[in-house]
């Protein structure tokens, strides 16, 4: 039943390709993938490749990290061109330069493979954004 599993999504992300799901009923885009449309709940979905382009809506600099990760690093929520928001990390700027004027800045997508965290079911692949302006 799954059109796009988390493993397939991670595999594409490793090639800097952002795979999402388009709802056959309301046409909304769901990303990261799940069993049902994130807007209307319909299970009728088809795979679609997204631009990976968007703008930062909010951010933070994590200075106290969970075990297995090293601070500081930046976490962002970006609004993609196609509508959904996507969480990732931001590279290319120093944490000290992460200020309110980041909000609204355009970003493009890369990726980062995360290993070494305990209590996970294998590695993770994270959207790694960089500023596009």
Q: Which stretch binds another protein (CB under 8 A): 16-24, 43-51, 64-72?
A: 64-72
CA distance 27 to 11: 24
Number of chain positions touching another protein (CB under 8 A): 40
52 binds another protein (CB under 8 A): no
Residues 6+ apart with CB under 8 A from 94: none
Strand partners, 107: 54, 131
CA distance 27 to 23: 4
118 binds another protein (CB under 8 A): yes
The binding track of 2-41 with respect to another protein, each residue x by CB under 8 A or -, is: ----x-------------------------x-x---x---
């Amino acid at each position: 039943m799954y059109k796009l599993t988390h493993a397939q999504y991670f595999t594409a992300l490793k090639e800097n390709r952002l795979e999402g799901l388009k709802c056959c009923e309301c046409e909304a885009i769901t990303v990261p993938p799940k069993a049902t449309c994130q807007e209307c709940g319909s299970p009728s979905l088809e795979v679609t490749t997204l631009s990976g382009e968007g703008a930062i809506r909010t951010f933070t600099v994590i200075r106290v990290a969970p075990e297995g990760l090293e601070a500081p690093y930046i976490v962002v929520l970006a609004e993609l061109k196609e509508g959904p928001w996507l969480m990732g990390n931001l590279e290319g700027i120093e944490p000290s330069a992460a200020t309110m004027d980041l909000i609204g800045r355009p970003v493009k997508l890369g990726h980062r493979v995360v290993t070494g965290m305990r209590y996970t079911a294998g590695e993770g692949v994270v959207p790694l954004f960089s500023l596009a302006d």
